[in-house]
Structures are given as C-alpha cells and as structure tokens.
Amino acid sequence: MAISDTKARKAKAGEKPYRITDAEGLYLDVRPSGKKIWRVRYFMHGRETLFTAGHYPTVGLSEAREIRDWVKATAARGGDPLEEYREQQAAKQAAAEDSFASIALEWHGKQAGHWTTYYANQVKKGIEGEMIPAFGHKHISKVTAADVLKLMRDIEERGAPSVAILVRQWVGAIYQYAASTLRAEHDPSAPLRRAVTRPPTRHAKALTPEQLRDLTLSIPDKGGYRLTQIAMEVLMRTMLRTGEMRQGRWEEIHWMRAEWHVPADKMKRRRPHVVPLPRQVVALLQELHEYSGNGKLMFPGLRDRREPMSKTTINDRLRRMGWRGLFTGHGFRATASTLLNQHGWRGDVIERQLAHTPGDKVRASYNHADYLGERRQMLQWWSDYIDALTLEQDAPPVPGRMSS
C-alpha cells in the first residue's frame, strides 16, 4: 500500500529504525532519533543501491516521488544517479559562487584598501543597496544590458542621476575584474555610457571678503555646539576637505611642529598630506582637546562618540545660519583659493595646500618636499587675514617673494 502524506507525518520514532514503503523502490526510513529520510532502491550493474532523496518534511511526498522517477530513469539509461546528482550540486555551487553578488563583493573586498573609507562605503552601498536587489542573484554571465539599464533608469527617476552614472561605472569595473579572473566574457554596462545624462557640475561658491567676514562673525552666536563651531573655524583656516577634517584623529596632530599629518587613506588622491597649523588653529585645537582629547577622534559624533562627526553636520549648520543654497562646507576651500590667488600667492603653493596632486609624480614629490615652508607662511597669512576682516582692518602684507 502506497504511503500518504498523513501517514508520513504521523510516523513515530521507535527503538529501532523502520521503513514505510511507497512504491517502485521509494520508502521512508524512520530513525530512532526522529529523523525521517526518503530512500530510493534501484539496481545498477545487477547490484542494489540506495539513493537518499532528502529529509521529510523538507522534501514532501510528491517531490520524493519525482526524485524516485529521475533516479530510476537515470539508472535505466545506464547513468549513475549518485554521480550525476553530485555533478548537479557542484554546478549549483559554482553558479552560486559566480553570481553577480558574490563577485561584486569579492571585487569590493580586494579594492577597498586602495580607497578612502568614505568611498569604500559609498561603493558597498551601491552594491548592496542597488545592484544586488536588482540582479545580484543572477549568474555573472546572465546579467544583461537591459538589467543594468532598468536599474539606472530607476535611480535616475528618483532624482539621483549622478548615482546612476556611478552605478554603471562600478558595474563596468566589476565586469573587468570578472573577466580578469575568467568568469565573464562581456560587460553589459558598456553600451550604456550615455544612457543617463550627467547633471551640470556645480562648483563650490567662493565667498567675497564681506561675506567671509559676516560668516566668521556669526559662528560664535549661530554656529551651534562649540565642537561644531571649532570644526567650521578649522575647516575655514586649513583648506582641508570636510571629510578629511571630520575624520581627524589626535594621533595625527604633531604639536611641537604645529602640523596635521593626514594619512593617505583619508585623502581623495591617496597621498599623505601635511597641513601646517597657524597659531589660531593650534589654539582652536587646544580648546577642542578639552572636549574630545580623551578619545581618538578629534571631532566625534554627538550621538556616538566612537564615530566621526556626521558628514552633514557642517552643511546643516550653515543652512540654519542662513546660507541655504548660497554656501556649503566645501566652499571654504574655494574661498581660500580665490582670495589667496587674488592677493598674489603662487598658484602651485595654493594647489599643493588644496592637495590637488599633479599628474607628474616627480613634480608631486618636489611640491611635497619644497612647498611646506611657503604653505606654512601662506596659511598663517590666511588666518591673519580672516582675523583682520572680522576686525575691519587692512589685510596683512604678503611676503614680497610670494607676490606676483
């Protein structure tokens, strides 16, 4: 009599194993431990062999019968069901290992060490938050241009065309990596280079001297928490990028030399950067040390002091101070560059302080070695200039050898 699902479900474990037969070699092996295992009896080369078809109830009765039919048919044509099953499982495992998701994360793991922490997190967010939900389950060779285009269009329609372009670039890099490891032969993103129009670049706006004066004077009253006020002052006077400043650690400050040594992994161009500290900035950092000197981070977050200040803190505060749509934290660099150029400081010195590394490595090395003294003079002049503005005094004189 054939087994029923009800009979299989109600079968109780005994002191010894026993079986409940179905038909054509299929039976349920009930173990003393309570496990119930489907077995299929079949013959190969005149010898009886057993094939395990799975555990009940994970494998139900109807599925067990389908497996039995496959086993019997495979043996009848001379195949080895056990060997073919192992090959099928190996193929499934290989397919899983070569899915877009697994290769994308593998690529990220190998590249992240060459990127800034911010960029590595940005790329990972693109992989896990955009690509994997869209087509990460597919084998790397099965992702199509239509898959990538749909994802790009979805991102563009929610108002993030720049992200859509980045995603296409990252998909292309993932396929270059897959091709280099012989796991892909085509890049589905290649035909889509102009599928999304890049929005016009909005360069950071530079403040006029009058605007810089007004902003500087408003920081003590409207700049929020003192830690945020110090952050804005330091950003204004050092020409650092916001990310480089807010991720600063106390171990990077060399007090005796009045220098901030930013490691390469925090720099956009992956080169270490030395920032000479004007007297005013040293005083600000000494005050800051009273707030955060017992930790590793110079500018810790308000909610979690183990994490750096949020990347939105400065811009949020500037908006509340009345600069919405007019100025952002990145604009401090543009302001310094513009006004320093106007006052005759050498362009190469300004560019080096902005950490705009030239393409020529020899020239980059020269800049790093020989511009430090000039950059120290320039940043001290810049900080004195800001103070003079707030006091409505004339700008301090530029050293003669620096003027154009």
Active site residues: 241, 268, 330, 333, 356, 366
Residue 149 · residue 167 · CB < 8 Å? no
Burial (CB count within 10 angstroms: exposed 0-12, middle 13-18, buried 19+), residue 196: buried
How far apart, in whole angstroms, are the C-alpha atoms of residue 290 and residue 143? 54
Q: How far apart are the first and last CA of the chain?
A: 103
**Alpha-carbon distance 337 to 318, whole Å?**
20
Contact 380, 239 (CB under 8 A): no
CA–CA gap between residue 183 and residue 200 (Å, rounded): 37
Q: What is d(CA 219, CA 374) in angstroms, rounded to the nearest whole number? A: 29
Cα→Cα distances 28→4, 10, 15, Å: 11, 12, 16
Q: Compute the residue count for the chain.
A: 404
**Distance of alpha carbon 159 from its chain centroid, rounded?**
20
Helix (H) or strand (E) holding 47: strand 47-56
Identify the CA nearest to 227 among candidates 120, 299, 122.
Answer: 299
The strand ranges marked E within 219-345 are 253-254, 259-262, 273-276
